[in-house]
Structure 1
């Protein structure tokens, strides 16, 4: 038998009576990082093959006498678990910090972990670009960023790239210069795009500073001066020139009120029995009270200044259980009220897995626990991780715990689940971009709730309404997919884009008696699009498309479930009538619509008209041009006018064909009658002329060309 610990690997051949250390000279053969990585595994078919885990994994083929590297990388993959198939030792599964990987040939080749959304995210941030970048620090895989939507109809590997930050810490973009990003965790790095070169601008490069940090080391730009970057050590520091020069905004804040911090020379080696100072874990800057900064420490303290650091008050929450071991993971300064703030306190390090969220409305003089409605005993833990206030709607709060996401509509007095389709995971951070709610999980990656604006409109009175049409957020005029050739296959890792166009929510208090409809009208009252809850028959070609059926979008009618429903208008006009349809080459699995489609509506304000049981409900929606587009308003008007001429022409051709067909049917009756020969001849001549005018309904299109396999057409409307 084998036993491994921080002290090394030991083997017993007599049932544990005696032990000997194996490969004692190789210090890799022991638990790693104080036991964070640990384990010894033996091939069930060959006892001489032994594996151990440290920051990488190691293999012995001589019963543990000597080892060599097996699976790992510089910095370590940090393996956590190994499983060996009891029937075949060549088949091994390794669970890493990054995800799961499998070998079927004893480690010669391994599967990828990039096909799994298993990022262990610590902190997230978003920038002001379009589509916006989501930045995240992630365990053992470094900082990354990913687009909120991709140009190819999905968020693909082309929309993702590493950031030269650290695996923990905070990564934030400069709000004024989108090509500059700052990342803490291993110093404070200033990263410049597109070169992605970086420089450490931390004031802690001067050893005389003796700065203490947590693994989160918060970074934030001051709302009152977007050039000012603020960070936390045991004191608050700020720079207005990108890290060239720093100034202190506080004394040492890591000690309780009434305790004098020791001299700098003694820090890191305090006298026995003395209080060990904490470091700043969380930081919040007020957007409504210039100079107000809240800080929380990893030893349970909360400090606040209202004059940008000239004076500080200790406003620590009283009577916390085991306060010196409380971790103030998150502070949120209210976006509405200068004296209000919210706090998430973590005590799970003491064995207390209950949630601790607090609110103050008097600058921290008093604190109120706000946990009503939150679970307290979930198997994976219910302790608090993060709390955020909606920047637009007072009283709307979001909270993440070790096991779920929650929302409050009454300033934290009561909570309810916002889990929806989210996994059971640890919710470490929350960011808000416009109408999007972005969450970072520790183990299941990054998730976005697209256009949550209905949450800002929920009131108690809504529950008594029979129907409610929520005001949608602005819709951006973007293409579903700009690809021009064969798309990525489905096995290429990808995430769904947000729904195209306007996301429209409506509430139904009861099941409608009949069909419901949603009509989109332009500024002149003309119908642009008509949606309905009636079943939508697929086009004939959907049964046997030239590509596998999983590429084809199934038309979805409007849902009519009791409660809140969602539908999206993709900003296109109704599809024109057509005798035949095809599917575009710029495809996405399950999302590729039949062509031809209607033109894309130009920027402007449109009216949404929802009809339920004979009653009409309306809202306006604004369509904005893609901010990346070089097209001017005049360009878009000219394009739209041309497209509408073609669109109307298609409709007229359709109508004309059917008119001709009706006349030909009548003429055919004459040619089959016993009319005089000259009448029959004239009827046939007329039918021939009509056939030339009406044309062929098939349009002459056939599969084939370009090597066969079906039509390869570009989208119909630009």
Structure 2
């Protein structure tokens, strides 16, 4: 295929292309051949000529091209030659002839991994050759020096220039994006792109939030929380690096999240103490007289489901440790085909030693790639290989029997075993994901055996034909529910493999290399290759889904217990330079399925018009316009059956998911004008206390409420105990009810205060419009106005002092804020807060008495105004 393309800016029909002939199988890699070369077209790609003058006649490998921005006649080519050698070539006559400038070639894991070439638009003759450490030439490629990579990830593959700034460069690396504003002297890392490529993952059982671990492409292995207590979500700083290099599989000791395992390429296995962050190298080592220990690039780790201290690890044989990797013993001989990879066919035949072999940065071959042990039968182990074999032992490794996958029609000669999963419910059943893509076959191969691996059948069902499957996970509750991580997203089957459904909401259609279920939380966790980790909170609805649900009007699924705590903010307004993943929504989550949306009259008409468009009639349209649209609601009740809140749900066909933040509704009272966002506004700080609650799913149509399903019970449980013992829940509840009552009283007083001041202003304006001036009336109105302003000062503070920022004496509004703060945590009210609250209550009673008296005075003045012929004032009602 083609590796690079240049377009002459003076004539878009003039093209230069580099081609690359190579062949890579699971076993080996040929990095060059006669199909590699330089080519030119002068007719927009219709025809091409091969450029050979000055180009070596050996097997060329990967070629990178660059055109001089100063003179498009000048072309540069970074060419890979035999055995990882190469050179920088230059043409000054549009590719007609070439001269070798130097022996420069990319190194590191090999030229095939780099070789991209860039010419600076600001400095003639300045070239950048992508490499593990970028090489820079200032003399058209005659000499190169190593670029400053301090504080930057190595392994660069792409770069860009800014036309207006000669000192700016942007580099794309295995570690992300870096920019320099001083021509590579210093670097700024772009930290808000979630683009990590994860190979494998593991989850622990930490409380309250479990942690996720995973190995990445050239970014080491990471660990981090699935959720935090912070309102800003999960930040970069919440993650830590457990190992370096290329990270691969991680593993966790069940019941002890402080002991984890990780590895980098070729089986470099480490035990990691998450308390001290220290690592211990525990890779099994060959014994005296043993051959080289062949490990797969991504060697499998297995913690036994029968003993958390027992580990299994694999090279070309299976190893066992009963003391967390301190000591190892092999429990098998070589379980692979044990071949010499250079004797295997490439391009369909045996290749000469002189051809472009390069296995320098490849995995070893004839290795074990996947391990599983039945949780139902100790010692029943499965080992899958990269050369088409599944090995089975039922006695802990004393004896093994082999199943060759090439005996299954259509699976190819040597399919790669990506994954083996022993069934969680039946010792006889085992699953495997098999891969043939390096031999040109991208079909999904999911296999099942019901006789401990003696015979197998394909259960890929209706999966797309070009859907490579990487990993599997079976639900620990529903044996027929299996999830598959594939090259194009995540799929699941609810009937053991006959039918598969893609999960689409919230996840991109990209490669997912691993998948698992955190069993305590019932969360599905996926490792994507390019977008980080994804979590699907609580798969219970998928687990319980069946045909009868589709026919029911609505189904409310079981509700997971909700943690009781206060989300906190740890940062201020620091911009968007850091990536933050959102937490799972706080509170209780309700999931329900609707066979169809609840239709309004307008919905019914539009549905009918799909068949026949007729005029519905004026009366029907009037009903449609006047209808208060149908609503889906969840009625939340406490353990005593008292309604706590009403949560507005979504009204759509299929799965719906809404959240309740464990809060009471805003009980300050309702104004005539609805607040923005609808009538179910809330102040999220006033939470319920822990206890048993229920949710009932209802629909409300034209004022009539119909129960769809429920109630479903769930618990609100405290997430932690504070450093100090909190107030009793009874004390918190009693104080909350007092505050709610006071807030209504205060809100009504504030509103009446505002209305009375507005009213006295209207009365003054009306008095000026009477048929005969009345000085006594105006004087009484002014006295009433001054009286109201004095009362308002007691209620809200001194307006004169407020103009210059001076503080007023405490008011009921101040006390309300103090009281509300007492309800904004899980500790409960302090004595000081209750004293402030009681002061505010007493103040409010005195203010209310004065305000009632002032209102009576205004009423009598209003009567005199009407008698004096003043015009109507808002609030007086209809005119007799």
Alignment correspondent of 1:278: 366
Alignment correspondent of 2:249: 170
Higher Cα Rg, which structure: 2
Select 1:141's aligned residue among 215, 219, 244.
219
- Counterparts of residues 439-588 of structure 1 (less than 5 Å): 439-481=526-568, 483=570, 486=572, 488-512=574-598, 513=600, 514-532=630-648, 558-577=649-668
Deviation at 1:568, TM superposition (A): 0.8
Distance (Å, rounded) in 2 between the aligned partners of 1:564 and 1:706: 55
Alignment correspondent of 1:4: 79
Note if contact 2:559-2:590 (Cα within 8 Å) is conserved in structure 1: yes
Deviation at 1:36, TM superposition (A): 1.4
Distance (Å, rounded) in 2 between the aligned partners of 1:200 and 1:699: 71
- 3-state DSSP of counterpart to 2:257: coil
**Worse-matched range after superposition: 153-162 or 687-696:** 687-696
Note if contact 1:336-1:394 (Cα within 8 Å) is conserved in structure 2: yes
Is the alpha carbon distance of 1:654 and 1:290 closer, same or farther for their aligned partners in structure 2, counting shifts above 3 Å? same
Alignment correspondent of 2:382: 294
Note if contact 1:101-1:111 (Cα within 8 Å) is conserved in structure 2: yes
Structure 2, unaligned stretches of length 5 or more?
1-75, 351-363, 601-629, 672-676, 768-775, 808-816, 826-880
Is the alpha carbon distance of 1:646 and 1:236 closer, same or farther for their aligned partners in structure 2, counting shifts above 3 Å? same
- Counterparts of residues 56-205 of structure 1 (less than 5 Å): 56-70=133-147, 72=149, 77-84=154-161, 90-103=167-180, 105-130=182-207, 131-153=209-231, 154-164=233-243, 166-185=245-264, 187-204=268-285
Alignment correspondent of 2:428: 339
Alignment correspondent of 2:53: none
Select 1:696's aligned residue among 795, 805, 817.
795
Alignment correspondent of 1:40: 117
Alignment correspondent of 1:49: 126
Deviation at 1:705, TM superposition (A): 8.1
Is the alpha carbon distance of 1:361 and 1:33 closer, same or farther for their aligned partners in structure 2, counting shifts above 3 Å? same
Select 1:220's aligned residue among 272, 297, 302.
302
User: What TM-score do the two structures reach when normalised by structure 2?
Assistant: 0.66
Note if contact 1:119-1:442 (Cα within 8 Å) is conserved in structure 2: yes
**Worse-matched range after superposition: 593-602 or 128-137:** 593-602
Structure 1, unaligned stretches of length 5 or more?
256-260, 533-557, 581-589
Distance (Å, rounded) in 2 between the aligned partners of 1:403 and 1:177: 34
User: What TM-score do the two structures reach when normalised by structure 1?
Assistant: 0.80
Select 1:246's aligned residue among 304, 319, 328.
328
Note if contact 2:470-2:513 (Cα within 8 Å) is conserved in structure 1: yes
- 3-state DSSP of counterpart to 1:158: helix
Q: Deviations over 1:619-654 (max 9, x none)?
A: 43433535543579xx56705632541343332441
Distance (Å, rounded) in 1 between the aligned partners of 2:167 and 2:462: 50
Distance (Å, rounded) in 1 between the aligned partners of 2:312 and 2:150: 34
Distance (Å, rounded) in 2 between the aligned partners of 1:73 and 1:57: 12
Alignment correspondent of 2:91: 13
Distance (Å, rounded) in 2 between the aligned partners of 1:311 and 1:575: 69
- 3-state DSSP of counterpart to 2:748: helix
Note if contact 1:504-1:568 (Cα within 8 Å) is conserved in structure 2: yes
Aligned positions, number: 650
Note if contact 1:463-1:509 (Cα within 8 Å) is conserved in structure 2: yes
Deviation at 1:413, TM superposition (A): 0.9
Distance (Å, rounded) in 2 between the aligned partners of 1:474 and 1:157: 28
Deviation at 1:449, TM superposition (A): 0.9
Alignment correspondent of 1:599: 686
Is the alpha carbon distance of 1:105 and 1:638 closer, same or farther for their aligned partners in structure 2, counting shifts above 3 Å? same
Distance (Å, rounded) in 2 between the aligned partners of 1:44 and 1:619: 69
- Indicate whether 1:398 and 2:514 are aligned: no
Distance (Å, rounded) in 1 between the aligned partners of 2:581 and 2:98: 51
Select 1:236's aligned residue among 315, 318, 334.
318
Is the alpha carbon distance of 1:464 and 1:354 closer, same or farther for their aligned partners in structure 2, counting shifts above 3 Å? same
Distance (Å, rounded) in 2 between the aligned partners of 1:236 and 1:164: 23
Alignment correspondent of 1:438: 525
Distance (Å, rounded) in 2 between the aligned partners of 1:149 and 1:573: 24
- 3-state DSSP of counterpart to 2:379: coil
- The root-mean-square deviation of aligned C-alpha atoms, in Å, is 4.0
- 3-state DSSP of counterpart to 1:226: coil
